[in-house]
Amino acid sequence: MTKEYGGVVNELVAGEWKHPGTGQRVSVDIRSIVIKETLDGMEGELVYPLHKNEKLAVVSDRYTYEVLGRRIGSALRSAGFAIEEIIWKTPHAAIESVEELRHLTRHSDGLIAVGSGTINDSVKYASFLDKKTYSVFPTSPQLAYGTPTASISFAGFKKSIAARPAQGVFFDLSVISQCPIRLTRSAFADLICRTTAQVDWLMSHLLFGTQYRKLPYFLLAYDEDGLFDHAQALQEEDFEAFGILVRMCALMGLAICITNTSHPGSMGEHMMSHYIDMFFNDLNPNTLHGEQVGVTSLTMSRLQNRILSQDIPPVLEPTEIRESAMIARYGNEIGQQCITELKNKALDRMQADRINRYLSENWQRFAEQLRAVMLPAERLWEAMQAIGAIRTGCDLGLPKAFYQEVVLYSREVRDRFTMLDMAADSGMLEAFAEECR
């Protein structure tokens, strides 16, 4: 018997998991998620309940065809499916390529993606546009399988666009554990930002009453310690470690699906990554999303730990919006967008006074609530070291001056209030940015 790693994911998919806070059962849109040491020989029975009587297009690229696509194709054929194998030569998560994929799969009723990243996003979006169903056999760990959105470029701009999650997600650990280590590190880093995102999201809720959900964090808490403790083992194709990593990827995706917002895993650290995407890609297009998020999470964690360990609260001033400097920095079009984003969360005199009053009366309790969901920055640093991941902007290939710019200005690209705003509005951010590299 091949070992099974579904754990709480199985309970969720079966509709049996109960929210610890409310006692209510929680349901998810995905019909089947399977995480096993190997799925060799059971592909047909996994796919059958979700796609019976459908003519299937099995979509791989040249790489994923060799590692898994060929096997899936022949297994589904043996199981009696009418299939068409598509080895996509020029995969791109861009709308033009999605159109090409829609054309290539025009004779099929359902799609089976074999791969991660581009393959999964493109198949997810193509099947959404064509009102077809899809399932996926990932070839590396990633968060995007369970999410209802696809990451697709339109005229060169990457957008997270509404689609539908997969019907079935089938993780074969014997394949995933063989993926390039960069992809494993990248997925790992995109999960450990749980702590920085939660601190930011909860802080926004405490200060402004914005919506906040505990559910994602109940789910992620099952495995987070195990993930950190197995960081090193992830360099060694250890099934136990990959079982945890993949389960947490699935849980983060499901959490985003259930809460219908990216907030649980995307706050200040993701704004910084987004800033790098927007303004550095010409110089260095090859960094992975998770590599960026790993570096920026370490920076955010240091900032959060520093502010929340102070005995006295920071004192906020109304948010300064230097419009002409922003236009000079970003150009007119992006500059105007950033000005709008910043204005949405900018503090005026009255709000700054209200928050200062609140913080001076409640600082210990406020900081304590956030510290309860925060990890020490060293814990993140050491786990990232154990998996051999990139930890500084410098190692990511970013000049020091640019990384300091990321720390200083990335809060301008999105209207979510984070610790970057707290630091900026209290006059601390410049000195903090000076230390970053």
Judged by the rule CB under 5 A, the positions of this chain that interact with Zn ion are: 190
* Of the candidates 150, 138, 171, the residue with the CA atom closest to the CA atom of residue 92: 150
* Least gap, CB of 263 to Zn ion (angstroms): 12
Q: Which is nearer to Zn ion, 51 or 289 (CB)?
A: 289
* Choice between 296 and 426, CB closer to Zn ion: 296
- For Zn ion, the closer CB: 194 or 345: 194
Q: How near is the Cβ of 340 to Zn ion at its closest, in Å?
A: 23
d(CA 317, CA 347) in angstroms, rounded, equals 8
Alpha carbons 196 and 301: distance in angstroms, whole number: 6
Q: Are the C-beta atoms of 293 and 193 separated by less than 8 Å?
A: yes
Q: How far is CA 346 from the centre of its chain?
A: 26
Evaluate whether 110 touches 56 at the Cβ level (below 8 Å): yes
Nearer to Zn ion, 190 or 291 (CB): 190
**In this structure, what are the phi and psi dihedrals at residue 79, rounded to the nearest 5 degrees?**
-80, 0
Please identify, using beta-carbon distances, which residue of 190 and 425 lies nearer to Zn ion.
190
For Zn ion, give the closer residue by CB, 190 or 421.
190
Q: How far is the CB of 398 from Zn ion (least distance, A)?
A: 18
| Shortest reach from residue 190's CB to Zn ion, in Å | 4
CA distance 153 to 133: 22
Least gap, CB of 189 to Zn ion (angstroms)? 9
**For residue 317, what are its two tokens?**
């001033």
Q: How far is the CB of 205 from Zn ion (least distance, A)?
A: 21
Residue nearest to Zn ion according to CB distances in the complex: 190
- Alpha carbon distance 134, 152 (integer Å): 17
What are the start-end ranges of the H helices in 281-418?
289-308, 323-330, 332-345, 349-371, 377-386, 400-409
Residue placing its CB nearer to Zn ion in the complex, 37 or 190? 190
Give the integer Cα–Cα distance in Å for 223 and 176: 18
Shortest distance (Å) from residue 269 CB to Zn ion: 8
